[in-house]
Amino acid sequence: MTNKRTFKMMLLFVAILFTFSSCKKNEVVLRTGTLQVTFVRDASSLPNLNYYVSPSDNATYAISGLDINFEKRILTIKKLNPGNYYLVYDTPYETQRVLFQIHSGETTELTREL
């Protein structure tokens, strides 16, 4: 009688172990996107550009800690979460605001004339 009971307990334990090991987590992985802005200008050199990125729902502050690279007239900002943002940049003559959208795992490309 104890052998049958022990066997049933072992069988139940194996069934529970199999059930938990076969379950998969359905995790949503949030991937970031990239912004790439190409600045076009007739002259060979760019003026000094001051720029920042802010979320569209609160455009009063700049996002800090971004992975930013600005080389050869191309501004690249990596690791932006999906959403709507403003790129604000100052030239010697005016301030420009550009609204753009970041999609998960994609690169948003913009071209701006100075």
Domains in the chain (CATH in brackets) are: 33-113 (2.60.40.1120)
* The predicted structure's pLDDT at residue 70: 83
Report which of residues 23 and 75 the model is more confident about.
75
What pTM did the predictor assign? Answer: 0.67
The DSSP code sequence of 20-44 is HHH----PPP---EEEEEEEE-SSS
> What is the residue-averaged pLDDT of the chain?
82
> 5 to each of 1, 8, 16, 17, how far by Cα in Å?
6, 5, 17, 18
Q: How far apart are CA 87 and CA 96, in angstroms?
A: 8
